[in-house]
Chain A
Amino acid sequence: MSPLLRVDRLVTGIGAARVVDGVSFDVAAGETYALLGESGCGKSMTALSLMRLLPDGGRILSGHVQLGETDVLALPERDMRRVRGGQMAMVFQEPMLALNPVIKVGDQIGEALSLHQGLNGQAARDAARALLDSVGVPDAARRLDSYPFELSGGLRQRMMIAMALAGEPSLLIADEPTTALDVTIQAQVLDVLRNLRAKRRMGMLLITHDLGVVAENADRVGVMYAGELLEEGARDAFFAAPQHPYSRMLFEALPRTGDAGRLTTIAGQVPRLDTQLRGCRFAPRCPFAIARCHAESPGWQELDGQRVRCHLAGSLPAGSVRERVTHPVAAHTPQPLLQVEGLKVHFPIRRGLIQRTVGHVRAVDDVDLTIQAGRTLALVGESGCGKTTVGKALLRLIEPTAGTIMLGGKAVPAKNMPTLRRQAQMVFQDPFSSLNPRMRVADILLEGMDALGVGARGERRGAVARLLDQVGLPDDAGGRYPHAFSGGQRQRIAIARALAVSPRLVICDEPTSALDVSVQAQILNLLKDLQADLGLAYLFITHNLAVVEYLAHDVAVMYLGRIVEQGQAGAVLRTPRHPYTQALVSAVPRIEPPAGQTVIRLAGDQPSPLNPPVGCHFHPRCPHASAVCRQTYPERTDLGGGHWVRCHWVAAQG
């Protein structure tokens, strides 16, 4: 059987850089082929080359792309337009940007239908409704008349998929289709894609950096690095025994349950593609590299059905390269460092000429937290649940509406801000927006010390050198500007900035979510080391449960401004009791699916905190909701060992 899509030695250049360099792969009908790799490896550029939608300055330099009977690269632009959407369609990462905000979604889907199927009027409307039904949009007829802003991220992504299906393509290219979505929504969208592929026997090219997504969805996997394909094979074989050192290290870099050791990091960065590259492109970062790797680019080798480009394929040590260093667990008695009681942050909504307050967004509603000295509390929840607001309210970057903050057993009055700020600092999500591009690194680090008067003036320069050393940056980093550093290095600078005033608590707001897996591992290792060395406490705000399992001692799960379950990390993540926590844990795509666990799929989206549901906030999505859930918000149910939950259903069981 000839494959649906055959890509042969595709080379794409942008300016002087060869962003895709000799990539060949096949996709069969009804098969999902996953392209896996870190950012900047040329995955998206491969997809755009197939669609011939390259950005300005991008050109396909050589190679063949055969889709069915069509030679895609030989088509004139006129005919290519019929292929796009008609024979192959693409779903983009950011559903916010991919839909036109001023046109109703029904009309946008109708446009694709009239273009590729010649349907108009009522026929197009019916077809659009059928499409929405097929991607699982509830109440499809009404949704056709919605504008994109009226839809949630998950619904928008389904609209995008529906639009891509309008031309009945034989190949669907999904470029990070769920990266911008929350886990529970991601699970819904991936389900939709899986069902469609099975039903329509489409080929699918799935582009992702997430090994979990690959494990659950792909039939075959190709690993890309620096514009080249390094390894290719069937999913099961690949996950059982990845052959290329890079693939292996990607696995090792992932934090896993119950693993207290250090994560493997991949030193260095993806090489710049506009320079002359010799030898194996991964050699400079490869721990196994031999002289030959630097001189000669490896060819393809077959190994039990897997293909790999590595000189050492098959002769690599079978075991893990992960160092087994466990940090000695400090056996001190837990001592509360920061206690928060009844924290509320309500944002007033003002309307009209005189800006009258007509309501409140209850971003944080009655949150109690206790952070122990030297331990990590993870605050978990989907976007919009108020977890970042909690972090900022603790530092009074957002003025809390109510609540007391106690530091080391003493209440912190609003007047005594410097004390609070000496003790607690913050690391932000995006390392690119958290460093002022016009300030030198040394000045960035000095800022906090100057503002809070930490240490004698003359000693601060020395302190900067010490901080840089502590976070693993070179000595000369202080004199440079942030743009000279990569994402991971910038996050190290941000951590050093927080440490400059020697805080006892660091609030980390998704510090690794903007980073690649291998860099994330470096940062997580660093955070662990710092905790061991300095006895820091962390409030770790994240949506990534894998990171939580690796790093946190305690976990608090937030839903719509309130904490619904809290307890020790192991207890909460392995035996979740609240239906929301259960769904959250179940939705995470995993490399090794835990046996015997039923998959829970949540319906619908998180409601708006402007107008939360009466009773338990979770009841509209909860599979166990009963009458009492619709009326009163549940009280705490203590489950022992510091594990508690707010749920009528759990309370009724116990």
Chain B
Amino acid sequence: MSLGTFHFVPVLLWTDALIFMLLTVALATVWWIRRHAHLRAPWAAVARRPMAMGAALVLAVFVIIGLLDSLHYRERLDASPPDRPQYSVEVLSVFDALAGRLRTQQEKTYSAPLAMHLYAKEFTERDGATVRDYPRLEYGGAHLKQADEYVPDIVRRVLVGLLQGLASSLLLFGLLAAWQARHRQMRVGSWLSAWETGHLGWPGRTVVIVLALMLMLGAVIARLAAGYHVFGTDKVGQDVLYISLKSIRTGLVIGTLTTLVTLPLAIVLGIAAGYFRGWVDDVIQYVYTVLNSIPGVLLIAAAVLIVQVAIEAHPDLFDTSAARADVRLLALCIIMGVTSWTSLARLLRGESLKLRTLDYVEAARAFGVSHARIISRHIFPNVFHLVLIAIVLDFSGLVLAEAVLSYVGVGVDPAMYSWGNMINGARLELAREPVVWWQLGAAFAFMFTLVLAANLFADGVRDAFDPRLEERQ
């Protein structure tokens, strides 16, 4: 068997497939936009905004981690015979492979960030006697022999990390300068002075500084993570940094796939209501008014429970627990999508109502152009900017909604890594003395960074696409 020669078998989860479909669509859209001057112009304006570009870089890091985490596979069991290979039930991703020891170095239970000791007292043997004390961690700081080596070791790792980050960013910057100078046929010196004064036509300073900061931060964390648990460990001893990084994918999936469900509904129903008016408008308006008056959490809770029951009733459909959790995640996306299309639909209805009375639509009607063609050529391209702004703005809202839903217990599968689950897990420990704060803190830091970057980017996009601001310029 040909597969027998491989050490792993790729696994394509439902959300993986959709994510890569979305990626393809996004790349195709980019290609299409590049070819149209009027579509390219506002994006060029986004690219000129320092804040938006800085935020885009941060977002890009999140997206890359999320994409790496979406390439799943199962390893071959060493014991299985080569002609009839057997594969582990554990589904891993490329990100897991890169994270390496971060995943496997599991402690017994809680430990604080960068700690050497466990967070709970245990009976240990010391000098022949059994004492109750905080035991040393199995991995975190295990390389240290004496407690007084701790601080110098941390300082050394931070400094080395900073230096590595700085060196690599300087190297990248040099390459960039050389390439740009060559590209623009100018001397490196004059390019550097243009960069310094901000006369490049794109926010070069911001991009380089944000990139350097991220490289330095990444290098420091990587250095520290080699010897410690940077964000501590959770109840079962898993590295919180690893969990937080794994949660990125969940957040991105919720933020993007939900819009994939929302968009067709919102676009088709919103434009149809605004363009056709009459009974079509009445029906669509009644539907979304009714949908809006049902409390969203109630609807989502009911739907999630139904899916849950369905999944449990058919265990044979899923060969791994990851597949089961994944289907639940997908179901959550669909449910949130079905309940959240109304606001965009309402916006598009209003805009279509306005557009259909414009002279160019009348002119098209005077030629007897069909409704489908009027909608696709005259209405849709002119509401597209609204769709785009809505996608970017909704993204952060959805990431936060996942956290809330998982906290309430109707979100993603409890076994799935997500910020909501992290917060839910940390909830009870907040009452503990001394408090276990790092799970909550890590989830907060990651969510805050992602949502802030998304919002800053959304601001830039909205400013560039807003026709009123365009007029002022």
User: Which residues of A pack against B, CB within 8 Å?
Assistant: 56-57, 392, 395, 397, 417-418, 421, 425-426, 428-430, 433-439, 444, 447-448, 451-452, 481, 483, 494, 497-498, 501
Asked if B362 CB lies within 8 Å of chain A CBs, one says: yes
Partner of A433, one of B38, B360, B368, B369: B360
Chain B positions 351 through 372: 1 when the CB is less than 8 Å from some CB of chain A, otherwise 0: 0000000111011111111100
Q: Which residues of chain A are near B366, meaning CB under 8 Å?
A: 395, 397, 421, 425-426
Given A430-B359, A481-B38, the answer on whether A452 and B368 have CB atoms closer than 8 Å is yes
Q: Which residues of chain B are near A417, meaning CB under 8 Å?
A: 368
Asked if B382 CB lies within 8 Å of chain A CBs, one says: yes
Distance between A52 CB and nearest chain B CB, rounded to angstroms: 20
Inter-chain pairs besides A421-B366, A425-B367, A439-B377, 9 sampled, C-beta below 8 Å: A418-B368, A430-B359, A434-B360, A434-B362, A436-B381, A438-B381, A439-B381, A447-B369, A481-B38
Q: Verify B363–A428 contact, CB threshold 8 A.
A: yes
Q: Verify A436–B365 contact, CB threshold 8 A.
A: no
Distance between A574 CB and nearest chain B CB, rounded to angstroms: 34
Asked if B472 CB lies within 8 Å of chain A CBs, one says: yes
Q: Which residues of chain B are near A57, meaning CB under 8 Å?
A: 472
Partner of B362, one of A392, A439, A452: A392
Q: Which residues of chain B are near A498, meaning CB under 8 Å?
A: 363
Q: Which residues of chain B are near A395, meaning CB under 8 Å?
A: 366
Q: Which residues of chain A are near B364, meaning CB under 8 Å?
A: 447, 451
Q: Verify A451–B368 contact, CB threshold 8 A.
A: yes
Distance between A442 CB and nearest chain B CB, rounded to angstroms: 13
Q: Verify B367–A434 contact, CB threshold 8 A.
A: no
Q: Which residues of chain A are near B369, meaning CB under 8 Å?
A: 447-448, 451
Q: With the chains together, A429 CA to B359 CA distance in Å?
A: 8
Q: Verify A436–B368 contact, CB threshold 8 A.
A: no
Given A451-B368, A481-B37, A483-B38, the answer on whether A434 and B363 have CB atoms closer than 8 Å is yes
Asked if B182 CB lies within 8 Å of chain A CBs, one says: no
Given A433-B360, A436-B360, the answer on whether A447 and B368 have CB atoms closer than 8 Å is no
Q: Verify B368–A428 contact, CB threshold 8 A.
A: no
Q: Which residues of chain A are near B367, meaning CB under 8 Å?
A: 421, 425, 447-448, 451-452, 501
Q: Verify B38–A437 contact, CB threshold 8 A.
A: yes
Q: Which residues of chain A are near B362, meaning CB under 8 Å?
A: 392, 397, 426, 428, 434
Identity of the chain A residue whose Cβ is nearest the Cβ of B378 in the assembled complex: A436
Partner of B382, one of A418, A430, A438, A494: A438
Q: With the chains together, A397 CA to B367 CA distance in Å?
A: 10
Partner of A56, one of B38, B360, B373, B472: B472
A-B contact pairs, 11 of them (CB 8 A): A418-B368, A434-B358, A434-B362, A436-B378, A438-B381, A439-B377, A439-B381, A451-B367, A451-B368, A483-B38, A498-B363
Distance between A352 CB and nearest chain B CB, rounded to angstroms: 15
Q: Verify B359–A433 contact, CB threshold 8 A.
A: yes
Distance between B11 CB and nearest chain A CB, rounded to angstroms: 42
Q: With the chains together, A430 CA to B363 CA distance in Å?
A: 12
Q: With the chains together, A392 CA to B366 CA distance in Å?
A: 9
Identity of the chain A residue whose Cβ is nearest the Cβ of B364 in the assembled complex: A447
Q: With the chains together, A444 CA to B364 CA distance in Å?
A: 9
Q: Which residues of chain A are near B382, meaning CB under 8 Å?
A: 436-438
Partner of B38, one of A418, A421, A434, A438: A438
Distance between A267 CB and nearest chain B CB, rounded to angstroms: 27
The 4 A-B residue pairs whose C-beta atoms are closest, nearest first, are A434-B359, A438-B381, A428-B359, A448-B367
Q: With the chains together, A494 CA to B367 CA distance in Å?
A: 13
Q: Which residues of chain B are near A421, meaning CB under 8 Å?
A: 366-368
Q: Which residues of chain B are near A426, meaning CB under 8 Å?
A: 362-363, 366
Identity of the chain A residue whose Cβ is nearest the Cβ of B358 in the assembled complex: A433
Distance between A617 CB and nearest chain B CB, rounded to angstroms: 27
User: Which residues of B pack against A, CB within 8 Å?
Assistant: 37-38, 358-360, 362-370, 373, 377-378, 381-382, 472
Q: With the chains together, A433 CA to B361 CA distance in Å?
A: 9
Identity of the chain B residue whose Cβ is nearest the Cβ of A434 in the assembled complex: B359
Identity of the chain B residue whose Cβ is nearest the Cβ of A392 in the assembled complex: B362
Distance between B364 CB and nearest chain A CB, rounded to angstroms: 6
Distance between B351 CB and nearest chain A CB, rounded to angstroms: 14
Q: Verify A435–B360 contact, CB threshold 8 A.
A: yes
Q: Which residues of chain A are near B360, meaning CB under 8 Å?
A: 433-436, 444
Q: With the chains together, A447 CA to B364 CA distance in Å?
A: 7
Q: With the chains together, A392 CA to B472 CA distance in Å?
A: 34
Q: With the chains together, A244 CA to B358 CA distance in Å?
A: 40
Q: Which residues of chain A are near B38, meaning CB under 8 Å?
A: 437-438, 481, 483
Q: With the chains together, A370 CA to B112 CA distance in Å?
A: 91
Q: Verify B365–A397 contact, CB threshold 8 A.
A: yes
Q: With the chains together, A428 CA to B363 CA distance in Å?
A: 8
Among B38, B369, B370: residue with most chain A CB under 10 A = B38
Q: Which residues of chain A are near B370, meaning CB under 8 Å?
A: 451
Q: With the chains together, A452 CA to B367 CA distance in Å?
A: 7
Distance between A433 CB and nearest chain B CB, rounded to angstroms: 5
Distance between B254 CB and nearest chain A CB, rounded to angstroms: 32
Q: With the chains together, A483 CA to B366 CA distance in Å?
A: 23
Distance between B124 CB and nearest chain A CB, rounded to angstroms: 71
Q: With the chains together, A566 CA to B155 CA distance in Å?
A: 96
Q: Which residues of chain B are near A434, meaning CB under 8 Å?
A: 358-360, 362-363
Distance between B153 CB and nearest chain A CB, rounded to angstroms: 56
Q: Which residues of chain B are near A501, meaning CB under 8 Å?
A: 367
Q: Which residues of chain B are near A397, meaning CB under 8 Å?
A: 362, 365-366
Q: Which residues of chain B are near A452, meaning CB under 8 Å?
A: 367-368
Q: Which residues of chain B are near A56, meaning CB under 8 Å?
A: 472
Q: With the chains together, A406 CA to B37 CA distance in Å?
A: 45
Identity of the chain A residue whose Cβ is nearest the Cβ of B365 in the assembled complex: A397
Distance between A398 CB and nearest chain B CB, rounded to angstroms: 10
Identity of the chain B residue whose Cβ is nearest the Cβ of A448 in the assembled complex: B367
Q: With the chains together, A417 CA to B367 CA distance in Å?
A: 9
Q: With the chains together, A397 CA to B357 CA distance in Å?
A: 11
Q: Verify B368–A497 contact, CB threshold 8 A.
A: no
Distance between B226 CB and nearest chain A CB, rounded to angstroms: 53
Identity of the chain B residue whose Cβ is nearest the Cβ of A435 in the assembled complex: B360
Distance between A388 CB and nearest chain B CB, rounded to angstroms: 11
Q: Which residues of chain B are near A392, meaning CB under 8 Å?
A: 362
Distance between A485 CB and nearest chain B CB, rounded to angstroms: 13
Q: With the chains together, A497 CA to B365 CA distance in Å?
A: 13
Q: With the chains together, A259 CA to B180 CA distance in Å?
A: 63
Identity of the chain B residue whose Cβ is nearest the Cβ of A421 in the assembled complex: B368
Q: With the chains together, A334 CA to B6 CA distance in Å?
A: 89
Q: With the chains together, A392 CA to B361 CA distance in Å?
A: 13
Distance between B43 CB and nearest chain A CB, rounded to angstroms: 15
Q: With the chains together, A435 CA to B367 CA distance in Å?
A: 14
Identity of the chain B residue whose Cβ is nearest the Cβ of A417 in the assembled complex: B368
Identity of the chain B residue whose Cβ is nearest the Cβ of A479 in the assembled complex: B37
Q: With the chains together, A66 CA to B366 CA distance in Å?
A: 56
Q: Which residues of chain A are near B359, meaning CB under 8 Å?
A: 428-430, 433-434
Distance between B7 CB and nearest chain A CB, rounded to angstroms: 52
Distance between A426 CB and nearest chain B CB, rounded to angstroms: 5
Distance between B166 CB and nearest chain A CB, rounded to angstroms: 40
Q: Which residues of chain A are near B472, meaning CB under 8 Å?
A: 56-57
Q: Verify A451–B358 contact, CB threshold 8 A.
A: no
Identity of the chain B residue whose Cβ is nearest the Cβ of A430 in the assembled complex: B359
Q: Which residues of chain B are near A437, meaning CB under 8 Å?
A: 38, 382
Identity of the chain A residue whose Cβ is nearest the Cβ of B377 in the assembled complex: A439
Q: With the chains together, A448 CA to B370 CA distance in Å?
A: 11
Q: With the chains together, A509 CA to B95 CA distance in Å?
A: 64
Q: With the chains together, A433 CA to B364 CA distance in Å?
A: 13
Distance between B44 CB and nearest chain A CB, rounded to angstroms: 15
Q: With the chains together, A439 CA to B363 CA distance in Å?
A: 14
Q: With the chains together, A635 CA to B366 CA distance in Å?
A: 34
Distance between B404 CB and nearest chain A CB, rounded to angstroms: 38
Q: With the chains together, A498 CA to B360 CA distance in Å?
A: 12
Among B360, B362, B370, B373: residue with most chain A CB under 10 A = B360
Q: With the chains together, A452 CA to B370 CA distance in Å?
A: 11
Among B363, B366, B381: residue with most chain A CB under 10 A = B366
Q: Which residues of chain A are near B368, meaning CB under 8 Å?
A: 417-418, 421, 451-452
Among A56, A433, A483: residue with most chain B CB under 10 A = A433
